[in-house]
Structure 1
């Protein structure tokens, strides 16, 4: 049994994870929230206490300040707090430093997004081979559990792929991961999570198609899908973290990711991109000051966590999977829907943060119980999906499975050649 959780980061996802960990601190033990700005951690603690979510009041819930790029400081923090589970919910630039600290101390490592370097975007696939998977051998040698991508996408969608392979299909042809937010935050323009990381995703579209990587133009391939609860929404072929491990670990001909965008979002994004505001490359101003346009844009846009109080509507994330079972063609949609207002009422966060933060807490609980404490590095689809999905059903993210009538036809992108 592992005890005591250290949460790195103080954004929207960390906020939700802290609430859910506190609600299960009888299993998880003491909880420390740490980030560069300690006041943000304290605000999360105030929210947890305000909602009366600290299940065992004898356990500690406290904050610390730390630079998550400083490995010795992280090591000291893990040791001082006696944390055996580290939830890395900070910016993806810190993944490798937090992972290194966990390897050194023997603490369990978990994150919800792939590592990135500030000066590199959309590197050659598979992305996990560039950084995380290079540490596999060291994790195994030291018996360190490292669970990569334990959010929703990546995370829950990966577990659904494993479940489909185990239970619903003998062979899988295509997996289309569909993510749509049919909600309104009332702002002129905003992103639902870190704008800097969000916009860096939209530089290239790497997709796994007919068992090879293909490069497509951003927002160039669209389809409309009739989602449960939220109805028909447009989604666009997009590159995403989970494709890069699923292509290795799930036996499927094509695995693709689609994200929903409205016309207004696309128009604003196009203008910002054409003006150079989404660039990660530094520019020098006439007075000699050097700035990164994307960081300036992030500073100008609303903080995603600030959207929560007025957010209305729902999200739907699901895997449309086609293949064969018992000699017959089969198609299913395995999904979850989440309500922004209900999330705010429960944990004072919006649904995008909720869907990423709850799975991270669930993964921590599974490790603490011993179900997922595997002593080496894995992506979520390499673990038994049953206890994860069962626990999520109990703590706020129920899974639904819809048998499809063999009528859904995704765009035939398999016939397209790669583009520059």
Structure 2
């Protein structure tokens, strides 16, 4: 039986989600997409038709929605008869959309931790501040809620679960490494919502070390790795969503997240921060007009979705896992390499959006078939990773592994 889907958000990731849902609408059924700007939703639906993404004939619909409005969101879920909601809107709307799913019984998914616009870098573990407080409600109402099911968080959580289940007897460390070795040709831009992007890096950097939370400053600690395809890359330890669930769900003493930044990005970021232009607190201009500096910066930067046509190069994202197997030290790197131009040619979005947008659709398919329809709230590492990674292999995000035997594809039966 088909499961109708409601997509919330209309950015680059939503475009990927919509195309991938269309490619599997023999299982996912009718596709509705909702955002504050209905014109963006309509443009995404037009691109689906232009690229011939629909697998079978099906209904597509665009809707204007303020996702902070719980009642309006619940009403739209009912109107569209949606049984699965894929939330790829701003992280600010997570709890409102989840509330609407609890009200209607629809399954819920997102790709990032909820954020309060008035707070930056809250006390870890971040999921405990908002989402995990609804665990009991999800269980009582039998609502499936899969948190952080993009790539990172998401696929990297599945990589960690796979490593623990199949490759190690005990794990000492998981280092999640995210490198974008592509180029968009702009003087400066962020690959996703600038407001969310900058908020990630203006607070403390939280990592899980020696079974406890450890705080550092942004760009304080770096490493260099020779990675598959993209070669030698320098990355910096930063706080990130998946560390907050993996640290609680896996008995691993050290879990860290590393992201690649070029010197140009670091220089621009540092200047903006030192000038106070990344502040989320309102200020008044000499003319008495109140503005939020971070929102002004967001307004003058390119829309991330506009970067796609000119993007070239590749991404490499994976888990470097170290531990012991059969009494011997062992190290594996489980990863994916994605191509910006290939992503654009297929769905009209760049590779960062592609890696974030394909996984929630794979999860939706697993909910529709019952394999991941668990009737409770979970993070990805709490679910069996093999069916998820197998689908991703088929949908454009193949899993590879580097170990003592070299680099190879991972195929799951």
The normalised TM-score by structure 2 is 0.97
Q: Quote the Cα distance in structure 2 between the aligned partners of 1:348 and 1:77.
A: 27
| Range moving further from structure 2, 344-353 or 281-290 | 281-290
Aligned to 1:171: 170
Preserved CA contact (<8 Å) 1:89 1:111: yes
- Give the SS at the match of 2:334: strand
Preserved CA contact (<8 Å) 1:331 1:405: no
Q: Quote the Cα distance in structure 1 between the aligned partners of 2:70 and 2:135.
A: 19
Report Cα offsets for 1:207-260 as digits up to 9, x if no partner: 111110011011110111111000001100000000000001111110000000
Aligned to 1:416: none
Q: Quote the Cα distance in structure 1 between the aligned partners of 2:259 and 2:280.
A: 22
1:62 positional shift: 1.2
1:361 positional shift: 0.8
1:281 positional shift: 1.0
Q: Quote the Cα distance in structure 2 between the aligned partners of 1:374 and 1:288.
A: 53
Preserved CA contact (<8 Å) 2:311 2:350: yes
Report Cα offsets for 1:66-110 as digits up to 9, x if no partner: 100000101100001000000000000000000000001000000
Q: Quote the Cα distance in structure 1 between the aligned partners of 2:96 and 2:358.
A: 24
Structure 2 residue 350 is the aligned partner of structure 1 residue 350: yes
Q: Map residues 4-43 of structure 1 onto 2, 5 A cutoff.
A: 4-43=4-43
Q: Quote the Cα distance in structure 2 between the aligned partners of 1:340 and 1:148.
A: 26
Q: Quote the Cα distance in structure 2 between the aligned partners of 1:201 and 1:88.
A: 19
1:404 positional shift: 4.8
Aligned to 2:378: 378
Flag the 1:159–1:56 CA change in 2: closer, same or farther, 3 A: same
1:286 positional shift: 2.2
- Give the SS at the match of 1:173: strand
Aligned to 2:46: 46
Q: Quote the Cα distance in structure 1 between the aligned partners of 2:253 and 2:236.
A: 20
Preserved CA contact (<8 Å) 1:113 1:148: yes
Aligned to 1:206: 206
- Give the SS at the match of 1:381: helix
Q: Quote the Cα distance in structure 2 between the aligned partners of 1:90 and 1:6.
A: 12
Aligned to 1:120: 119
Structure 2 residue 234 is the aligned partner of structure 1 residue 234: yes
Q: Quote the Cα distance in structure 2 between the aligned partners of 1:88 and 1:6.
A: 8
Report Cα offsets for 1:156-199 as digits up to 9, x if no partner: 00000110111000100000000000011000000011110000
Preserved CA contact (<8 Å) 2:4 2:81: yes
**4+ residue segments displaced more than 4 Å:** none
Preserved CA contact (<8 Å) 2:2 2:26: no
List gaps (5 residues or longer) in structure 2: 407-413
Preserved CA contact (<8 Å) 1:2 1:367: no
List gaps (5 residues or longer) in structure 1: 407-420
The normalised TM-score by structure 1 is 0.95
Alignment: residue pair count = 405
Q: Quote the Cα distance in structure 1 between the aligned partners of 2:405 and 2:39.
A: 52
Preserved CA contact (<8 Å) 1:109 1:146: yes
Structure 2 residue 313 is the aligned partner of structure 1 residue 293: no
Aligned to 1:397: 397
1:405 positional shift: 8.7
